[in-house]
Structure 1
Amino acid sequence: MPRVKRGTKRNDRRKKILKRASGYFLTKSKLYQAAQEAVERGLKFAYIGRKQKKRQFRSLWIVRIGAAARLNGMSYSTFISGLKKAGVGLDRKILADIAVHDAAGFAALATQAKSANGAAKTAAA
């Protein structure tokens, strides 16, 4: 019975890890075991980072919308509440973009939100 040979599978796997580790400092880019640990750690941080990126962008949008709302004499929460009552279905990403690039358009949205808030207050009274 002939002996079993691994072929290139082992080398391919090692090469893949070392290729991913290129640019790492000292042995982390040269030695397989150190490279494997560094790559696994890097992949873990990359996974976490993809989740954090979404949170950070949302908070950035909220800050931008809040700043633009303040320029129009409202707080962020009253602005968002007014938009919901007015039936405006724009998400925070689009609202932040409008706030940065189209001040007149944002002001129009703010007046719409104000009127919706005012109508809701009079209806409640």
Structure 2
Amino acid sequence: MAIRDKIFAFAKGMRGRAKNCAKIARNRVEKAWQYQYRDRRTKKRNARALWITRINAATREHGLKYNEFVHGLGRENVCVDRKILAELAVNEPLSFRALVERVKTMRGIE
């Protein structure tokens, strides 16, 4: 299989001459690969921001700020990452509340 055919295989589904003109197809495919590389990292960044937003909303319902909560967990040596905390906040509110209460008692709040 020639390199040109491989480029056309990657360019399948593109619009205009980008799918059937070798020079333009090669440029578009290379640019698509650049976007793909960049967005794999952006996806992780966006997911982390979403987790932090969910945790912050859940902790504020219990009268605590996000940074106080995370700092308290660190001081208590509770090793739960933000992904799991966000899942607990959404799907297991009682378990999340137990963590919040633990941090509150450690900090002397309530």
What's the TM-score bracket when you normalise by the shorter of the two chains? Answer: over 0.9
Q: Which residue in 1 is equivalent to 2:40?
A: 50
Say if 2:2 is the partner of 1:12.
yes
5+ unaligned residues in a row in structure 1: which ranges? 1-10, 120-125
For 2:74, the equivalent position in structure 1 comes to 84
Equivalent pair of 1:64/1:96 in contact (CA under 8 Å):
yes
- For residues 104-115 of structure 1, the aligned pairs below 5 Å read 104-115=94-105
Q: Is the partner of 1:64 in helix, strand or coil? A: helix
Q: Which amino acid aligns with 1:78?
A: E
Q: Specify the alignment match of 1:33 in structure 2.
A: 23
Q: Percent identity?
A: 38
User: Structure 2: which 5+ runs fail to align?
Assistant: none
TM-fit CA distance, 1:115 = 1.5
Structure label with greater radius of gyration? 1
Deviation at 1:107, TM superposition (A): 0.3
Give, as a single letter, the amino acid of the residue that structure 2 aligns with 1:60.
Answer: L
How high is the TM-score relative to the length of structure 1? 0.84
Q: Is the 8 A contact 1:72 1:107 kept in 2?
A: yes
**Count of residues in correspondence between the two structures:** 109
Amino acid at match of 1:58: R
Aligned match of 2:85: 95
Cα contact 1:81–1:117 (8 A) shared by 2: no
For 1:81-101, what per-residue CA distance to the aligned partner results, in whole angstroms no more than 9, with x for missing partners? Answer: 111111110000000010010
How many Å apart are 1:118 and its aligned residue? 2.3
Question: How far apart, in 1, do the equivalents of 2:92 and 2:26 lie?
Answer: 49
Amino acid at match of 1:110: V
Aligned residue type for 2:95 = G
Distance 2:40 2:88 in 1: 25
Paired residue secondary structure (1:69): helix
